[in-house]
């Protein structure tokens, strides 16, 4: 994946991130959907599972995505929305962001 800030994956495809709250087989269907949609829409999707299973681990994933500067959007299932408002707002200021599975109403 390209990190040149152009918003593409290095092969001309727009790049998006899908971030889970924890690593769990539950997410296998969502991952399959991301793979299929990426193919259908000719984009790249990085599917990021929070293997740490805690807020710090999920925040680290989001911070890494933001630091690369080449994503066009992010979908996230917040592990602890009340304690993640700042990082969600930071990400939303840089790219389109949607919360899935778990809302963050204060963001």
The CATH number given to whatever domain includes residue 78 is 3.40.50.2300
Q: Would 19 be classed as within a structural domain?
A: yes
Q: How many domains does the chain have?
A: 1
The answer to the question of residue 34 being in a domain is yes
> Is 62 domain-assigned?
yes
Mean pLDDT, to the nearest integer, of 9-24? 88
* Predicted confidence (pLDDT) per residue in 51-100, tens digit: 989 999 999 999 999 999 999 999 999 999 888 999 999 999 999 999 98
Q: Distance between CA atoms of 105 and 75, rounded to whole angstroms?
A: 15
Query: With contact defined as beta carbons under 8 Å apart, do 14 and 72 qualify?
Result: yes
Which residues form the domain of 39?
15-99
Greater confidence (1 vs 75) lies with 75
Which candidate, 15, 19, 42, 6, places its Cα nearest to that of 100? Answer: 19
- For tokens 């994956």, the residue is 9
pLDDT at 1: 32
């Amino acid at each position: 994946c390209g990190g040149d800030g152009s918003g593409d994956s290095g092969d001309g495809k727009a790049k998006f991130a899908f971030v889970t709250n924890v690593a769990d087989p539950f997410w296998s269907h969502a991952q399959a959907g991301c793979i299929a949609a990426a193919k259908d829409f000719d984009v790249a999707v990085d599917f990021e599972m929070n293997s740490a299973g805690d807020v710090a681990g999920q925040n680290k994933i989001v911070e890494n995505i933001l630091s690369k500067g080449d994503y066009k959007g992010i979908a996230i299932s917040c592990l602890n929305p009340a304690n993640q408002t700042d990082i969600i707002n930071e990400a939303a200021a840089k790219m389109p962001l949607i919360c899935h599975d778990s809302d963050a109403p204060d963001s």
